[in-house]
Amino acid sequence: MAFRFELLQTDGKARLGRLHTAHGTAETPVFMAVGTQATVKALTPTQLLDAGVQIVLGNTYHLALRPGDELIAELGGLHTFMNWQRPILTDSGGYQVYSLAANLKIDDHAAVFRSHIDGALLELTPEKAVRIQENLGSDIAMCLDECPPADTPPEYREVAVQRTIHWAERCKAAHRRADQALFAIVQGGTDVATRIRCAEALTKLDFPGYALGGFSVGETTQQMAAALEPSADALPSDKPRYLMGVGAPLDLVIGVARGIDMFDCVLPTRNGRNACAFTEAGQVKIRNACHKRDSRPLESDCPCATCRQFSRAYLHHLFLADEMLGPTLLSLHNLAFYNRLMAQMREAIGERRFGQFCQDRLARWGGEVL
């Protein structure tokens, strides 16, 4: 089945839609669980489904190093390898250009990494990034891009943007899989004019979807919010819009209000592994002594398996005893919370009351009025 995006309804700039892929349909706006190394840390595929996860992410750089994309292809592709039969998106390795900059050499031809595992060199050209993702067999693949940090000087930011556009052209020319959609990534830091120029250049190449990269890389929340709306407005209205690596629950609400359809972030599982749970009332730090005798669930109205079966006192005990079940149960709850939030936003958009929903969440979680 060919990839297709269906825009069903709008409410202000918030958008209700569907992503149709070879491995099923995802309702948007959607939060995607990060499974960098073919696993969402501490959780099984069945638990992901129970938490409402629709799409899982894998990472080109990490999976090319270990176990290798050719091995994964030999074993039936990433869906079979990790036993996840729903949609998968793979990042291209562009974020590692930012996060592993100390082990990187980059020019217009390629990004050359020194493996964090054994020190071996990995040359990642746009063509190789596409080939790896085609071997992985993801439903959505990402163009290789250069993701500079927020404090990048303007002259180098321009170099990174031009390289990103050039690499997108090469990725599109190399891409062959008809059952895999290739998304381009808009860069430009917090400079709106640069982002709009990048978006216009990439839009001319007519990709099936577009991402906004280079956010949450050191800029302030205010800087991100100021650049996000005009950046999203510069993207085609009939194509999915993906905000990469963002973010906290309030960030998701703000992103949807500005026209974003897709999100991913390590925050729900990373916080879960570190004894922090997201709730409607705010974050709960389960190691705190106040939970030692608390027989309540994390959230009384949460339908996740963690809240249905276990008390705060038990979760507190698991983390103090350094038991593996603690990170699993909090990660499960956090992903369920994120996906419930997305479902609530989809419902609000469908009923044309997203503006009120948004204001309620901003007031509850301490955000500014839009």
Per-residue pLDDT of 256-288, as tens digits, reads 999 999 999 999 999 999 999 999 999 999 999
Q: In this structure, are 180 and 307 located in the same domain?
A: no
Q: In this structure, are 60 and 184 located in the same domain?
A: yes
Is residue 206 annotated as a catalytic residue, yes or no?
Answer: no
For residue 25, which amino acid is it?
Answer: T
User: Phi-psi category of 317—alpha, beta or left, where left has phi over 0 and alpha has psi -120 to 50?
Assistant: alpha
User: Phi-psi category of 339—alpha, beta or left, where left has phi over 0 and alpha has psi -120 to 50?
Assistant: alpha
Cα dist from 168 to 3, 4, 93, 144, whole Å? 19, 20, 13, 7
Q: In this structure, are 261 and 281 located in the same domain?
A: no
Q: In this structure, are 236 and 105 located in the same domain?
A: yes
53 within a domain of the structure (yes/no) = yes
Q: In this structure, are 185 and 314 located in the same domain?
A: no
CB 33 within 8 A of CB 272: no
367 within a domain of the structure (yes/no) = no
Q: In this structure, are 284 and 243 located in the same domain?
A: no
Q: In this structure, are 83 and 201 located in the same domain?
A: yes
| Statement: residue 357 has pLDDT above 60 | yes
- Mean pLDDT value across residues 239-253: 95
Per-residue pLDDT of 69-80, as tens digits, reads 999 999 999 999
Choose the catalytic residue: 11, 91, 139, 261: 91
Omega of the bond leading into 153 within 30 degrees of 0 (cis):
no
Q: In this structure, are 161 and 209 located in the same domain?
A: yes
pLDDT band at 368 (very low <50, low <70, confident <90, very high): low
355 within a domain of the structure (yes/no) = no
Cα dist from 178 to 20, 29, 238, whole Å? 14, 24, 20
User: Phi-psi category of 131—alpha, beta or left, where left has phi over 0 and alpha has psi -120 to 50?
Assistant: alpha
350 within a domain of the structure (yes/no) = no
101 DSSP assignment: G
Residue at which a domain ends, from 265, 297, 321: 265
Residue at which a domain ends, from 230, 265, 300: 265
Q: In this structure, are 36 and 8 located in the same domain?
A: yes
| Statement: residue 181 has pLDDT above 50 | yes
Instruction: Specify the CATH number for the domain of residue 226.
Output: 3.20.20.105
* Residue 130, pLDDT score: 98
Structural domain including 280 reads: 275-334
352 within a domain of the structure (yes/no) = no
Is residue 264 annotated as a catalytic residue, yes or no?
Answer: yes
Q: In this structure, are 57 and 105 located in the same domain?
A: yes
Mean pLDDT (the chain, rounded): 95
* Residue 221, pLDDT score: 81
The phi, psi pair for 152, rounded to 5°, reads -60, 135
Helix (H, G, I), strand (E, B) or coil at 174: helix
Q: In this structure, are 134 and 281 located in the same domain?
A: no
Distance, CA of 173 to CA of 24 (rounded, Å): 26
Q: In this structure, are 297 and 210 located in the same domain?
A: no
56 within a domain of the structure (yes/no) = yes
Residue at which a domain ends, from 240, 265, 290: 265
CB 11 within 8 A of CB 348: yes
Choose the catalytic residue: 11, 139, 251, 264: 264
| Statement: residue 99 has pLDDT above 90 | no
Six-digit token string for 151: 């404090």
252 within a domain of the structure (yes/no) = yes
321 within a domain of the structure (yes/no) = yes
Distance, CA of 333 to CA of 277 (rounded, Å): 7
Distance, CA of 249 to CA of 246 (rounded, Å): 9
How many domains are there within the chain? 2
**pTM across the whole model:** 0.96
Nearest to 365 by CA among 267, 274, 283, 260: 283
